[in-house]
Structure 1
Amino acid sequence: MTRTLRTAVAVAAALATLALAGPAQARPFDPRPGADGAGDPLFPTLGNGGYDVQRYDLSFDFTPVTYDFHAVMKIKAKATQDLSSFNLDIDSLAIDAVEVDGEKATWSVTTGRSGQELTVTPAAGLHDRRSFDVAVTYHGNGRTTPVGVPGWRYMSDGGFASAAQSSRADTFAPVNDTTMDKARWSFHLTAPKGWTAAANGTATGTRKAPGNRTTWDFRVDDPMASELLGISVDKQTKIEGRGPHGIKLRHYVPEDQVATYKPIVERTAGQIAWLEKTLGVRYPFDTYGVQIVRDGYSDALENQTLSLFGPGWFKDAATSTGYTDVMVHELTHQWFGDSVTPTTWRSAWLNEGPAVYYAALWADQRGTASMEEKMRTAYGNLDAVRKSDGPPGRPTELGGFNIYDGAAVTLYALDQRVGDHDFDALMKSWLTKHRHANADSEDFIDNAVTVTHDPSLRPFLEDWLYSEDNPPMPGHPDWK
């Protein structure tokens, strides 16, 4: 037979075999409840399993002073298993109704370890890989004592700002509150005349609402973890500007303190330019800004595209520019933590370490503080912290010295080991490779080895991240 004839005979035989075998057996539909936790090592019940959120759309109508609110959260998600029911994280929200694909669903609320679980049972089971829509109508009061810690920050004029990290977005809306499930967002915030709403992302307009109220619309086009939720209603003024290559800047400050804060927020464009040059990577979003509240909040937080600051950071602004260090810290998080987000909170050093490191480099280059002295002091303190709170890559809880200064010391050691050129290259690769995605400590180690072609960096970084004792500092044998 010719080659063509032999091929035709083979194909015919294969088709005949398939015909005898009959139709392929489809996997049976086996709906089961989605998990009530995402399995985070530090927060086992935070988040949920069985689905992946694609988009959140939050309508939130807030009344200042009384703190009453009415809201609707619409969620577009995709099942990752056959689902008979699924959970959302909430805390102290009064649920009015739940619909799945436009049909009423049954629901129940139970108390969890970090908040509450909203269990939703659709009228019919959901097939694996099927997209579905959820609408949760609810109300509440921001002054209600939650099961877990509060995410609300109260302003003396009767407004609020959200500080949701790491598990408090659920005090504002039903969410899948895990870093593993990033999604796109839309916000529609409504408040009475005389008040101004702010949120993550790009402002897309305002609309009149009933009762002499206004609705502000915002859109977040890049994936965002729920812990980076940044919404507020206050007597505040928006200050607009432009950053490098046309980045839209919008800042929010107390309406009666514009003259004080305008020169401060206008430093942001230069800080973005410095970080873009230092990191070799453009700012990862299309807008940025800082929000300085009048009171009720004393920390700083990297809410995606809109970092939040308490007023205490700027009390010496008339005589010192030291406040720029914390501004650079939170801005650095837009790359490390917001764009590249840790898969679990066990890898939180990947957020805080770079933020401390590059803020220290900023101060060093401006001659206001020595990077080497800061790292030397932190190195001396880290050894004991490793034993009490865990090493940088295996913390026993969030918020400790180990994942902040200790993680920055780890990066400093890496720089000392490989040199500035390779260090800059591997950090740039990290940001580019995992842009708008999730990654963890092992991914960071893999990237360092790949970029430098140096397999010995694997045990080097494992020692720095996981050992209970400080490894020797390269280039500084005298450091103890």
Structure 2
Amino acid sequence: MRAVIAAAAAVATLALTAPAHGTPSHPAPGSDGVGDPLFPTLGNGGYDVRHYDLSFDFTPVTYDFAATMRIRARATQDLSSFNLDVDSLAIDRITVNGAPATWEIGPGKTGQELTVTPARPLRERRSFDVEVAYHGNGRTKPIGQPGWRYMSDGGFASAAQASRADTFAPVNDHPSDKATWTFHLTAPKGWTPAANGNLTGRRGAPGAKETWDFSLKSPMAPELMGISVNKQSYLYGRGPHGVKLRHLVPEDQREKYRPIVEETGGQLAWLEKTLGVRYPFDTYGVQIVRDGYGDALENQTLSLFGPGWFERPTYSTTMVHELTHQWFGDSVTPATWQDAWMNEGPAVYYAAVWADQKGFQRIEEKMKAAYEKLDAVRKTDGPPGKPTGLGGFNIYDGAAVSLYALRQQIGQDQFDAVMKAWLTKHRHGNATTQDFIDNAVKVTGDASVRTFLNHWLFDLDNPPMPGHPDWGVTP
């Protein structure tokens, strides 16, 4: 009788643990990188994040924070363990599907690897929930590059591109894994948090604090996370067809920046007409910080600007550059960082079109200068479609020159159709350089466009510029 009971128990246990479809389970660790051509250890394999929910309690001036990241993901293999990207975060506890999990933190090439081992293996194609409680200090020197930008008022803004979201929260830090987000940012009363997406509510919190809730319903790569807590104020408006505009400026400089942020609606309308595609999200805004940041960054739905840009008479060109990224890079996101020219090339190109129409600089003048410089850059930093690193001239102006060449080759109407089809087909998704080339060939119906783009994106020498036989290269 004991033998029969034991056998029945064994069968019942097998039924509970056997994977779906009756196939045997062979759980294995998820990889500690996605194999990106430029950064092989960025991101992690074995799962796909569907939603991030970040609760972040920040103390200004001291920069202490306590946080909880809740992740809903789907396993893409049978997992015995999986990794998240972190950098200088102190982990307090982790649960997977509500059960305590074990973890360890090891070194990574851009930060640290958090390896999580759930109490039970995770099945392929099954959703699972992870909760990571942690704390830290924003002034801690990270293993990799910093993602924090410090304001003189004791607040901060995040500038997470390309792999610095892990200095704020555990994430799968690669653009190929996009997810929806919710944020719950807590700060002392009198301080104003901001985040991607829409502000959905405010509520009291212990210790004379408030929690501000935000929701981003369109998928976003972690590197586009834009959170902040500062002495800042919201300014509101409406864009084309009712797009909600909300901007953030230093609270004592509202009237200085109000006329500038109010230009955004016109810039949106211009880009929608130029691209032939509606703005891909339901809200947008610019965040102008007091100090502590000197660049400009296309955080999704909330572009970040240092104040120095607005001391230049051509500041609107930079605003259009970052706004263009909401289509190219934020909505249509590269599958790998080697495809980053698809972000920066269109942003530079359409900002140049804007600058030309505003009388700042003729586009032919800008493209000629870039063309002459690009030939040498191809040999040192790689061609636009195969860069050896990020942030170079090749993926910015060099990629814009390549797009200009395509327009010269196929004509304005065909060029506009190629770009419109690209944005429409890959809206809120990921795509590759090969996808871009395939799209151009399909839209034009011209197989020679494939060879043309291959030369412009991958050759180590500049191809001749259509329509400008006199253009040469800088010796």
TM-score range, shorter chain: over 0.9
Which residue does the alignment assign to 1:19? none
Which residue does the alignment assign to 1:259? 255
Q: What does the per-residue CA deviation read over 1:264-298, in whole Å, with 9 as the maximum and x for residues that have no partner?
A: 00000000000000000000000000000000000
Match of 2:134 among 135, 138, 149: 138
Match of 1:412 among 397, 401, 404: 404
Give yes or no for the alignment of 1:300 onto 2:296.
Answer: yes
* 3-state DSSP of counterpart to 2:423: helix
Aligned-partner Cα distance in 2 for 1:239–1:258: 8
Which residue does the alignment assign to 2:9? none
Q: 1:115 is matched by which residue type in structure 2?
A: G
Give yes or no for the alignment of 1:53 onto 2:46.
Answer: no
Q: 1:307 is matched by which residue type in structure 2?
A: S
Give yes or no for the alignment of 1:427 onto 2:443.
Answer: no
Which residue does the alignment assign to 1:469? 461
Q: 1:443 is matched by which residue type in structure 2?
A: D
Q: What does the per-residue CA deviation read over 1:18-52, in whole Å, with 9 as the maximum and x for residues that have no partner?
A: xxxxxx98221000000000111111000000000
Q: CA RMSD in A?
A: 0.8
Aligned-partner Cα distance in 2 for 1:27–1:205: 46
Aligned-partner Cα distance in 2 for 1:126–1:59: 25
Which residue does the alignment assign to 1:195? 191
Alpha-carbon offset, residue 133 of structure 1: 0.2
Which residue does the alignment assign to 2:272? 276
Aligned-partner Cα distance in 2 for 1:273–1:371: 21
Aligned-partner Cα distance in 1 for 2:50–2:392: 32
Give yes or no for the alignment of 1:246 onto 2:242.
Answer: yes
Q: 1:452 is matched by which residue type in structure 2?
A: T
Equivalence map 1:67-106=2 (5 Å)? 67-106=63-102
Equivalence map 1:81-480=2 (5 Å)? 81-316=77-312, 320=313, 322-480=314-472
Q: What does the per-residue CA deviation read over 1:75-107, in whole Å, with 9 as the maximum and x for residues that have no partner?
A: 000000000000000000000000000000000
User: Does 364-373 or 233-242 show the bigger shift?
Assistant: 364-373
Alpha-carbon offset, residue 365 of structure 1: 1.0
* 3-state DSSP of counterpart to 1:465: helix
Structure 2 stretches of 5 or more lacking a match?
1-19
Q: 2:172 is matched by which residue type in structure 1?
A: N
* 3-state DSSP of counterpart to 1:399: coil
Q: What does the per-residue CA deviation read over 1:159-188, in whole Å, with 9 as the maximum and x for residues that have no partner?
A: 000000000000000000011100000000
Q: What does the per-residue CA deviation read over 1:96-120, in whole Å, with 9 as the maximum and x for residues that have no partner?
A: 0000000000000001100000000
Summarize the Cα distance change of 1:213–1:410 in structure 2 as closer, same or farther, 3 Å threshold: same
* 3-state DSSP of counterpart to 2:327: coil
Please say which structure displays the higher CA radius of gyration.
1
Aligned-partner Cα distance in 1 for 2:360–2:181: 39
TM-score (norm 2): 0.95
Alpha-carbon offset, residue 367 of structure 1: 1.5
TM-score (norm 1): 0.94
Length, aligned pairs only: 453
Q: What does the per-residue CA deviation read over 1:444-463, in whole Å, with 9 as the maximum and x for residues that have no partner?
A: 00000000000000010000
Q: 1:424 is matched by which residue type in structure 2?
A: D
Aligned-partner Cα distance in 1 for 2:84–2:469: 51
Aligned-partner Cα distance in 1 for 2:232–2:77: 45
* 3-state DSSP of counterpart to 2:22: coil
Structure 1 stretches of 5 or more lacking a match?
1-23
Q: What does the per-residue CA deviation read over 1:417-470, in whole Å, with 9 as the maximum and x for residues that have no partner?
A: 000000000000000000000001000000000000000000100000000000
- Dislocated runs of 4+, deviation >2 Å: none
Alpha-carbon offset, residue 315 of structure 1: 1.7
